[in-house]
Chain A
Amino acid sequence: MKFKINLRTVILVLLASFALSACATQKKAGMEGDVYTGSETVKYLASGVPDRVFFATNKSSLTTKSRDTLRKQATYLRKNKNLNITIEGHADERGTREYNLALGERRANAAKDYLMTYGVSGNRISVISYGKEKPVNTASTPLAWSQNRRSVTVKVN
């Protein structure tokens, strides 16, 4: 009897966790949570080296995929020692202008810090925030906003 109750509990827990994970992995096209994971707007610094990483709403933390992208950038930059870069930080159009300027700066620096921990000298990196001023996708949709919450590494020489 006791065993039966336990079993029922276990099944309930299993069902619940299955339902939860189903929610968590539910994907809008090219998005995980609200972080863009597609490649529609992405350009490349070199073959296989994407130029940008994407962020969640109001956040500047790097996802696993972003860190992977930035490690590729770091490897490329270590090989091309004369190359300097600017990291542009951007926000979507759904925040107040001034907060978005600060947020863009924080995102660009999150990317800069990660590149530095992988051996790229801070002297080679400048950052600039554009806040919500330069959307890459001009639609007013959750997908467009996710593509606009980004930091982009740009070669300056």
Chain B
Amino acid sequence: MYKLIFITLILFFNTTFANSLIKVDITRGNLDPLPIAVSPLHVDPKSENQENVKVKELGDKISKIIENNFRSTGLFNPLAKDAFVQKPDIAHLKPRFEDWRLIKAQALVTGKIIVKDEKLKVEFRLWDLTASKEMIALAFTTTPSNWRRVAHIISDKIYQRLTGEDGYFDTRIIYVAESGPKDRRTKKLAIMDQDGANTKYLTLGNELVLTPRFNPANQLVTYLSYFRNLPRVYLLDIETGVQEVVGNFPGMTFAPRFSPDGKKIIMSFAKDGNSDIYTMDLESRVVERITDHSSIDTSPSYSPDGKYIAFNSDRSGLQQIYVMKSDGTNVKRVTFGNGLYGTPVWSPRGDLIAFTKVRKGRFYIGVMRVDGTGERLLTENFYQEAPSWSPNGRVLVFYRETKSGAKGEGFSAKLWSIDITGYNERKIKTETDASDPSWSSLLSK
């Protein structure tokens, strides 16, 4: 699945990193997205159309994906192509900056595509139209079937150059695909590209599956399965399809997540009406008990340095968020606002914890500093929960369920994303109803 993509820096032009170059500020909600022109890819005349690959079509699709990625961030405004003033091949060599400025573009992406000897090569350049300068130029060589990933990697490179932060387009989301009536839902593990393409179903739907989570290394997924009606935490290798139960617990294990180094799974184990938090080392199989309290302790999530764990507990009487050292000592309650707090998830940057809040019958997705201060509620709805971070810590994906009528009609579950600024809330298209999303880290890094 992971085919090699060769990246080469193009050295035809000297890339100058002047201070005057455009930069997109992503720390605030961006109400004035940067106008960007994505010129169609110029088809190299040496290209060979293969049986199933029309090079021109492929180029158009790649440029469309790049545009969609930019649009989905809310930070960029891809301009309509019919206003473009220069032919792709000429623009790619050296754009007439003043012409592009006329259509109010501030950045321009040009590119060239060639398919030859069963190899796809895509070259692109990013131009700062205000400073009349080239900002970055790269070329990718891979097999033609990998064209989508090339489009995402190019998007990431441009995003990184314009915002100064890593992108999140060459990523995938694992989630639970849902179908059927509300009281007899069929649930399958599903995986797709971040933009909703390439959906694959990883289980058949014979047993209930919940809460899949990516390993930071991407090959493995941990999730809850009711296989043989025994709810247990499982490990799944996406590449090989091999599944195995995690540990040998005499009762329900649930709420699994990986440690940041991918070597441990942290989860809840419920016995005799009490849920506590445990870890299991995947190599040595050593199980460690982290909390020991008569209350419900669940939804654990490690800080990215592995030193702390956030979790939710009802030890105060109601569900609240706590932070402790990763050995279980120094437990501190961090949420004190009105309402219930659950599903804490530590940002990959380490600075924030995302959570679900329930107050007066309404559900909120929010973020706060790791000591509980600076709470910001990003979105309110009838039911939504389970935020998961984009690898650069700028966007959250979560699921939302609708209110159903007297016979369960009108019920749906969908994935949504929102920028941590609280702007740019979007529904993510999925083939079926969907819940419990988990965002992978960047595939190419």
- Chain A residues engaging chain B, CB cutoff 8 angstroms: 58, 60, 93-99, 101-103, 105-106, 108-110, 113, 128-130, 133-136, 138-141
Contact = CB atoms under 8 A, between A and B. Distances in A.
A97 B275 contact: no
Output the residue of B182, B296, B383 with the most chain A CB within 10 A.
B296
Output the residue of A102, A109, A136 with the most chain B CB within 10 A.
A102
Output the residue of A99, A130, A135, A139 with the most chain B CB within 10 A.
A99
Output the residue of A94, A110, A113 with the most chain B CB within 10 A.
A94
B254 interface: yes
Given A101-B231, A129-B231, 18 more contacts: A93-B401, A95-B319, A95-B342, A96-B342, A96-B358, A97-B386, A102-B270, A106-B270, A106-B273, A110-B273, A128-B231, A133-B208, A134-B183, A135-B182, A138-B404, A139-B407, A139-B408, A140-B411
B208 A138 contact: no
Contacts of A94: 358, 361, 383
B48 to A, nearest CB: 51
A33 B210 CA distance: 32
Contact of A98 (B229, B343, B403, B405): B343
A98 B267 CA distance: 10
Contacts of B407: 138-139
A96 B183 contact: no
| 10 closest A-B pairs by CB | A138-B408, A109-B273, A96-B342, A102-B275, A138-B182, A98-B255, A102-B296, A105-B270, A140-B403, A106-B273
A10 B229 CA distance: 60
B270 A101 contact: yes
B299 A99 contact: yes
Output the residue of A97, A98, A128 with the most chain B CB within 10 A.
A98
15 contacts: A94-B358, A95-B319, A95-B340, A95-B342, A96-B386, A97-B386, A99-B299, A101-B298, A102-B270, A102-B298, A105-B251, A133-B210, A138-B181, A140-B403, A140-B404
Contacts of B340: 58, 95
B254 A98 contact: yes
Contacts of B385: 96-97
Nearest to A106: B273
A144 to B, nearest CB: 9
Contact of B358 (A95, A97, A108): A95
Contacts of A60: 273
B296 A133 contact: no
A96 B320 CA distance: 12
Contacts of B315: none
B270 A129 contact: yes
Q: How large is the interface on B (under 10, 10 to 19, 20 to 34, 35 or more residues)?
A: 35 or more
Nearest to A103: B296
A16 B328 CA distance: 49
A150 to B, nearest CB: 13
Output the residue of B183, B210, B273, B408 with the most chain A CB within 10 A.
B273
B259 interface: no
A99 B358 CA distance: 12
Given A98-B268, A128-B231, A133 B273 contact: no
B1 interface: no
A105 B252 contact: yes
A35 B408 CA distance: 21
A101 B251 CA distance: 12
B31 interface: no
Nearest to B312: A99
Nearest to A134: B183
B318 interface: yes
Contact of B210 (A97, A136, A139): A97
B347 interface: no
A139 B402 CA distance: 11
Contacts of A109: 272-273
Output the residue of B210, B298, B403, B436 with the most chain A CB within 10 A.
B298
A138 B183 contact: yes
A39 to B, nearest CB: 19
Contacts of A133: 185, 208, 210
A102 B403 contact: no
Contacts of B383: 93-94
Contacts of A129: 231, 252, 270
Nearest to A140: B403
Given A109-B273, A128-B229, A99 B298 contact: yes
A58 B319 CA distance: 9
A98 to B, nearest CB: 4
A152 B98 CA distance: 74
A110 B318 CA distance: 18
Contact of B404 (A108, A110, A139): A139
Contacts of B441: none
A78 to B, nearest CB: 22
Nearest to B383: A93
Interface string B404-445: 111110010000000000000000000000001000000000
B314 to A, nearest CB: 7
Contacts of B361: 94
Interface in B230-245: 231
Nearest to B402: A140
A105 B249 CA distance: 15
B69 interface: no
Given A101-B252, A105-B270, A96 B318 contact: no
